[in-house]
Structure 1
C-alpha cells in the first residue's frame, strides 16, 4: 500500500499517492506511515492535518528524525525560528546520518539568517545521501541565494537526473535556467513541473515570470494569477502578482495585492517596497516614504529568501528607492544621506550609485562626482530597458542645467520587470528668453542584449546680451551579457556646444559682449564587468575622446584698446583606462583600482592689439598641453559592528608632461572617515582626507567620490590639492520629521598659469548646512534649510578675495492623489563680496528674496508628466556672485517655463 503510494509520488501523481493509502486501517501503529502521510499533506499545503500526523508519529517514536524534520519545516513556515532550530537540532542528534534531518536543519538555520550554516548542512545532506534528489534541489536553491548561478544550475540538473518526475526538481531547474535568462529551457522545466503536479503554485509563478521576461506580459500575468489561486495565502506570489498588475497599469489592483501580501506576511519587506514605488508614481510620495521606511526596518526578514550578502544589496536598493522619494518631496539632503549609506553598505549595487548620481545634480560644483557615480552605475547595472538620457552623462550644462528636460527624475517611469520590449521617452521644454529644449530616447532589451539611442537639443538667448547657449548632445549605448557573470558595454557620445559669456558676477558691468566659446567632443567608451563571486567584482573602463575647444573675443579690451582681439584653439586627443576590483564580505568592503589618463593637446593662441597710431600688432604662439597621469587607490569600509563603519583609504598620483598646472606631481592622499549609528534613527559622520583635482576624460572616474558622505571631487582647477575635514549628524525624530546639520572646511592650494610660470594661491572654503523636513499630512511636505558658504583667497587671477553667502530656503509641497501637485519655494539670500583688483578693491553687499513655483500633473497610467512653473517669479533685480561657473544655482531674471515628459509604453 505505502509502496504503491510512494511509486505514484515519485512519478508525480500526487492524487494516486493519496488514493493508495486512503484505505489504511485506523489501527496503524507504524510512525513511518504517519510521517509519510504528513509529507504528502505538506506538499499540498494541508499543514494542520500534517501537524496532527506528525504528533501521532512522535507519540509512537519520540526521536523519529523524519517526523522531527517535518515539524521543523512547519515551525519555519509559522515563523517560530527558535522552536524550529531546537527541533532540527534534536532531529540531527537523533539521526546524525540522516540527510532529511540535515535538510530540515538548513531551513531552520536560514530562518535565523545563518546562510553559511544552512549551506553547510545541505552539503552534508548530499554527502550522506548522494541519491537524494530533494537534497540536491535544496542545494541549488541556496547556491542561487548566494548568487552562484553556475553551481545552482549544475546542482539542479543533478537533482533532475536523479528524480526527473518530481515537480520539485523540475521547478528548481526552471528557476536555475530563468536566473541565467535561458527562458526557453526555463519554460520547458516549469511546464514539465506543472504536468507532474497541477496543484503546485511555484512552477506556475516561474512560468509566468519566464513569459514576462520574453515580453509576453499578459500571458505571464495570467500564469501568476493561477499561482495565486492555487496558494492564496502565499505572500511572495501576491507581491509578484501586484508587480504584474503594476506593469499592466491596472492601477488599484496592484496596491490591493500588496496590501494582501502585507497582511499575510507582515515581516516581509517586499510588498512594502513595491507598494511604495506604486504610490510614488501615482503622486503619493509621503505615503511612499512611510512604506519604504517600513521595508528597510523589515529588511532582515528577507534572509529566509536571500543570503546575507544579497540581503545587504536589498537594503541598498530600498535605500535608493527611499532617496528617490525624498527627492520628489524636495528633501534633497536626506536623498544624499541615503545614497551614501547605500554605497557604503554595498559598493557593488548599481542603484545606489544611480541614486548618488541623481542626488548630486542639485549640489553646486559636484559635476565630477555626479557623472562618475553615473559611470559606476552603468558598469554595474544589469540589463534593462531604461532609456539613457543623453544629458545625464555630460557635465557642465551651464545655463540649461537647471530648467531642462533632464530635471525629471531619471528612474521615474522604470518598469519593475525586465522583459523583452522597447521603451520610448520624449521630453520638451519652452520658456522665456527664447529657451527651447527637446530630448528623445529609444531603448530596448532582447534576450541578453540591451540598447539605448538618444538625442538632446537645447538653446536659450540667456538673461543678458551675449549670454546665449546652444547645446546638442547625442548618445548610443549597447550592453551584452556574455554570461550571468560577465557583461560588456559600449557607448558613443557626441556634443556640440556654443555659448557667450554666461558667468553671473557680482558687479553687473563685469561681462563681455564679444566673448564666444565653442566645444565639439566625440567620445567612445568601452566597459566590462566580471563577477568572480557576488562579493568579488572587476570593472574595466576604456575611453577615447577627440575634442576641439575654441575661445574667441573680437573686443578683448573694449575700454582701453577697442578692436583688440584674442583667439585660443585647443584641440585634444585623450585616452583613459581604469581597472577596479570590488571586494565585499560581511565585515569589510574594499575598493581597489588603478588608472591611466593620457592627453595629447595644444593651445594655439593669437592676440591682436589695436594700438592707436600703430595699427594691429599680432602675436601667435603654441603651447603644448600633453599630460600623462597614473593613479592608484584603495578604500576599505570596515564594519566591526552593524552600527559602526570605519573608512580607511589611500590614493597616489603621478603626473608628467607639458601641462604646467598638473605635471610633475607625486602625491599621496590619505583618507579617513567614520559613520556611526548610536541609535537606529541617528547617523553621525566624520571625515578627513587629502585630495588632488585630476585631469579627467569626460570628467568621469571609477574612484570612490566620497568618504563617509563628504565629496572629494569638486569642480576645481586642475592640479588643485588640499585637505577637507567635516562632521555631520542626521536624525529621524519620527517617520514624518527629520533634522540634521553638517559642517566642513577645505584648505586648498590652487595653481594658476602666469605669463612665465605657475603661481599657486592658498584658498580656504567653509560649508555649513542645517535642515528640518516635515510631512504633517499625506499630501503635504514642508522644509526649511540654512546654507552658508565662505570663500577666501588672495584675490588674484580673477578670483574674488572673499565671498560669504548665506541662503535660507523654505519650501511647501502639495501632492494630491489625483495627480496634481504644487511646489513653492521662497529663498532668502545674503552675500558679501570683496574683489582685489590691480589698483583698488571693490566690495559689495546684497540680500534679497527669490520665489520659485511649479504646478505639475501626472498623466494617468504613468504615461508622463506635465509641469508649468517659474523661477525668480517676481523678477527680482539683484547682484550675485555665482560660485558654480558651470551650472548656475539661481536665475538672475524671471524664467517662466512649461515642460512635459511622455513615456511609452
Structure 2
C-alpha cells in the first residue's frame, strides 16, 4: 500500500457509526417536536449498536412523553448508565423517579437533557429551575468530576406543587451518588446510592370520580444501592452484571367523611384508615450480547426477591364507637427469569427476529405464574427510508417495586415493558409501517392489540380476568426549511374487559382518542416557538348503583411554548402556557401506578418557566 491508504471499518464499527449518527439526529427531532422521528431514530440506534450508552439514553427520552411505560424508561436509563464512558454527562436524580407528577414528567426540569450525548470532559455541571402555576417550583443540581480512570458524580433535586382540586400538596426530593471506575478500556465498575422522598395524593384526573382506589395521602421513602460491572472484551461483545438492594417505607392514609352519623347529634363522621408498609428487596441481573456479521444475539437472566410487612390501623372520629383492632400481614415476591433474543439479517432489506423468555413469578397476593413466552418478528426495508415491521410476542409484568431491568424493553421496535399490575401476562400483535421522504418528511402508522390476563381485576381474589388493549396511531411530520416544522398525530387507545363483567372499581371499558397538531417556528437565531392544538375525546363505561353508566368528554386544548438560547450559550430560558383558554374537562388516566401519576393534561390554565444551565 502507498501513502494514500484506504481506511477500512468493520461491520460492527459501521453499525456503531450509524448508532451515533441516529442518536445525534434524535436531538434535532426532539427540539422541533418530532416525537415519531425521535422514537424512530432511538429504535434504529439501539438496533445498530445495543452497546451504545447514548442510544439507550435517547430511547429513555423517547419514552418520556408516553403513559404507562415508566418501567421501560427507567430500564433504558439503567442500561445507558452502565455503558456510559468516563467524563460523560451523569444521570440526574429526578429522572430516576417514576411517573413524576408534573406536566412533562422526566422532562420537567431539564427539557434539553439529551444534549451533548457524546461530549466527555473532566468536569460537568447542570442546573435546572422550574416555576409554574399551582405554586409549582423545582430545582435540580448535578455535577461530576472525572480523571483517567475514575468519575464521581452527585445529583439532587426538590420539587413541590399544590396540585389540583382537593389533592394533597406534592413534595418530592431525592439525591444520587455515583462512583465509576475504569481499570481498563474494556472494563468498568459503577456504584450508585439513591434516596428519594415522595408525599402527596394519589388523586388523578378522572372521567368517573369513583374509579380506582379512594383518594388518599401517600408518603414513600426509598433507599437503594446498585453495584454493576461491564466488560467488553471486543467491539462486538459485551457482558453486564448488576446487583441492587434497597428498602421502601410507605404510608397510605385514607379519610372518608360520612355526612351523617347514626348516633345523635347525627353530625359528620370521619373514618380513617392508615396503612404502613416496609419492603426489602434485592435484584441480580446478567446480560450478554454479541454481534457476528449479519447475526446478533442477546441472552440474560435475573433473580428478584422482596419481603413486605404491612400494618393497618382503622378508627372513627366518634369515641363512642368501639375501637377497631389493628391488623398486620406479610407478603413476599419471588421472580426468576431467563431470556434470549436473535436478530438475523437476511440480506440488506429483511431481518428475522426471534425471542424467548422463561418467567417464574410467585406473589403471595395473587395466583403464581410459570410460563415460557415466545416472540417472533419481521422487519422489511424495501427501499431507503421505507420500513415495515410486524411481530407477535408474549410478556409478563414483574413486581411493582422492580423498576429497572437489563432485558431489552422493545422487541422488533415494539414496546414490551408496560406498567401493568403484578403478574399480568399478555400477548401483543403489532404491525407498523413508515416512509421517510426526500426533504425529511415522515409518514407512518402503527396498529397493535394486546390480550391481557390480569390478576384479581374483575373477578375477585386469586383469579385472572381477560382484558383487551388496543393502541393505534397515524403520524405525519414535515420540516419546512430551517425555520418551520409541522407535525400531526392521530392516536387511539382502548382498554376493555372481556367475558363476564363483575368489576366495579375501574371502568370496564375506556376509549381515548387524541389528535395533537404542532407547529414549530424559528423566529430568530435565539428564539423559537412551539404551538400545539390537541383534540381529546374519551368515552367510558363503569358500574354504578343503577347498573352500567356511560360518560364521555370532548375538548380542544391549546398550548404555547417559547425558548430563548443564543448559539453556543450554556444557558436557556423556556416559558409557556398549557390549556391556554382555560378549558374545564374530565379525563381518565389509564396509568395503573399506585402513587400520583404524570398528568397528560392540565384541567386549568397553567403557566411555567424553565431556566437551565450546563457547562
Q: TM-score, normalised by structure 1?
A: 0.64
Query: How far is 1:797 from its partner?
Result: 5.0
Q: Deviations over 1:335-357 (max 9, x none)?
A: 11111122122211222111111
Q: Deviations over 1:776-835 (max 9, x none)?
A: 221101011101111112361512011111111110001245210000100011111111
Query: How far is 1:679 from its partner?
Result: 0.9
Moved over 4 A (4+): 508-514, 556-561, 753-756
Alignment of 1:434-833 (within 5 A): 434-507=135-208, 515-555=216-256, 562-608=269-315, 615-656=321-362, 659-661=364-366, 664-695=368-399, 697-752=401-456, 757-793=461-497, 794=501, 796=503, 798-816=505-523, 818-833=525-540
SS in 2 for 1:554: strand
Query: How far is 1:604 from its partner?
Result: 1.6
SS in 2 for 1:576: strand
Q: Deviations over 1:176-198 (max 9, x none)?
A: xxxxxxxxxxxxxxxxxxxxxxx
2:76 to 358, 373, 385: 373
Change (3 A) 1:468 1:404: farther
SS in 2 for 1:630: strand
Query: How far is 1:673 from its partner?
Result: 1.3
Alignment of 1:115-154 (within 5 A): none
Matched, 1:321 2:24: yes
Q: Deviations over 1:281-307 (max 9, x none)?
A: xxxxxxxxxxxxxxxxxxxxxxx2532
Find the aligned partners of 1:686 and 1:756 in 2 and give their Cα distance: 36
Q: Report what 1:335 is aligned to.
A: 38
Query: How far is 1:484 from its partner?
Result: 0.8
Alignment of 1:293-372 (within 5 A): 304=7, 306-372=9-75
Q: Report what 1:385 is aligned to.
A: 88
Find the aligned partners of 1:463 and 1:840 in 2 and give their Cα distance: 30
SS in 2 for 1:625: strand
> What is the root-mean-square deviation of aligned Cα atoms in Å?
2.3
Query: Which structure: greater helix fraction?
Result: 1
Alignment of 1:164-203 (within 5 A): none
CA contact (8 A) 2:109 2:139 kept: no
Q: Deviations over 1:303-359 (max 9, x none)?
A: x25322111111111111122221111111121111112212221122211111110
Find the aligned partners of 2:429 and 2:182 in 1 and give their Cα distance: 42
CA contact (8 A) 2:391 2:431 kept: yes
Q: Report what 1:184 is aligned to.
A: none
Q: TM-score, normalised by structure 2?
A: 0.93
The number of aligned residues is 602
Worse-superposed segment, 616-625 or 398-407 = 398-407
Q: Deviations over 1:529-576 (max 9, x none)?
A: 011222221101110111001101132766788311111111011100
Find the aligned partners of 1:724 and 1:746 in 2 and give their Cα distance: 4
Q: Deviations over 1:572-628 (max 9, x none)?
A: 111000011111111111110010001011222233357x89614414222211122
Change (3 A) 1:446 1:891: same
Alignment of 1:826-905 (within 5 A): 826-837=533-544, 839-884=546-591, 886-904=597-615
Change (3 A) 1:401 1:774: closer
**Which structure ranks higher in relative contact order (CA pairs < 8 Å, sequence separation ≥ 6)?**
2
Q: Report what 2:264 is aligned to.
A: none
Find the aligned partners of 1:559 and 1:527 in 2 and give their Cα distance: 58
Find the aligned partners of 1:736 and 1:633 in 2 and give their Cα distance: 37
Find the aligned partners of 2:397 and 2:72 in 1 and give their Cα distance: 12
Find the aligned partners of 2:114 and 2:401 in 1 and give their Cα distance: 26
Find the aligned partners of 2:161 and 2:92 in 1 and give their Cα distance: 20
Compare CA radii of gyration and give the structure with the larger one. Answer: 1
CA contact (8 A) 2:70 2:419 kept: yes
Query: How far is 1:698 from its partner?
Result: 4.5
